Copies of this chain bind each other. A is one copy, B any other.
């Protein structure tokens, strides 16, 4: 058994600024995910085993600390390889999208990621909006382009992607994310075998997407023809 250095309980090792900063950031992620972004700096400090003013030596304000949390959880966890995967034509676009969503869901389906994301959204931060626009522009847009190609439909250059086509992508995306929402936001039990859920949802989506896109494209072409006739 360890012999206590003094009568007082804990020895207090000093840390290098770099190490301390990491501890604070990681502690802040876990803390704000649990109690919400209005969580108090005093309570955070207590969990970290430090005093509250020490936080202000590393971050000028609570908002600065939160900015750092966003950067750590969302920007740093984005994988550029996802964009490369979508472009890889050695696989069918269905398979590429399936692999993307599988890894993406594995990345975001955590207590920290989901809870801070929703807290930030409710607070009015535009981080969730910007993040999803990124998903749309860097993932959904090329996926839809590749699907058009694979289904023998006009390219987006010939016939622009329509809102309904994007909604198809947001639909399957939302269905998958909803599992995490139920688990981490609503505190519900979800099936232990998440891969099975994922595959069932994805199979249903991939089976249905082709005919629906054909229909949407046909409707858009009809609109386009009617417009030409008018002018």
Contacts and interface: CB of A to CB of B under 8 A. Distances in A.
A38 B126 CA distance: 20
A167 B212 contact: no
A37 to B, nearest CB: 9
Contacts of A132: 182, 186, 188
Most chain-B CB neighbours within 10 Å: which of A36, A126, A133, A179?
A36
A122 B122 contact: yes
Interface residues of A, number: 46
A65 interface: no
A126 B187 contact: yes
Chain A contact residues, majority secondary structure: helix
Contact of A122 (B119, B126, B129, B196): B119
Contacts of A201: 167, 171
Contact of A115 (B122, B129, B181, B186): B122
B174 A177 contact: yes
A175 interface: yes
Nearest to A125: B187
Contacts of A38: 36, 38
Given A121-B185, A174-B181, 15 more contacts: A36-B122, A115-B122, A118-B118, A129-B187, A129-B188, A132-B182, A132-B186, A163-B191, A164-B200, A167-B179, A168-B204, A171-B175, A171-B178, A174-B178, A204-B204
18 contacts: A118-B118, A118-B121, A121-B187, A122-B185, A129-B186, A129-B187, A132-B182, A164-B197, A170-B178, A170-B179, A170-B182, A171-B175, A171-B178, A174-B174, A200-B216, A203-B212, A204-B205, A207-B208
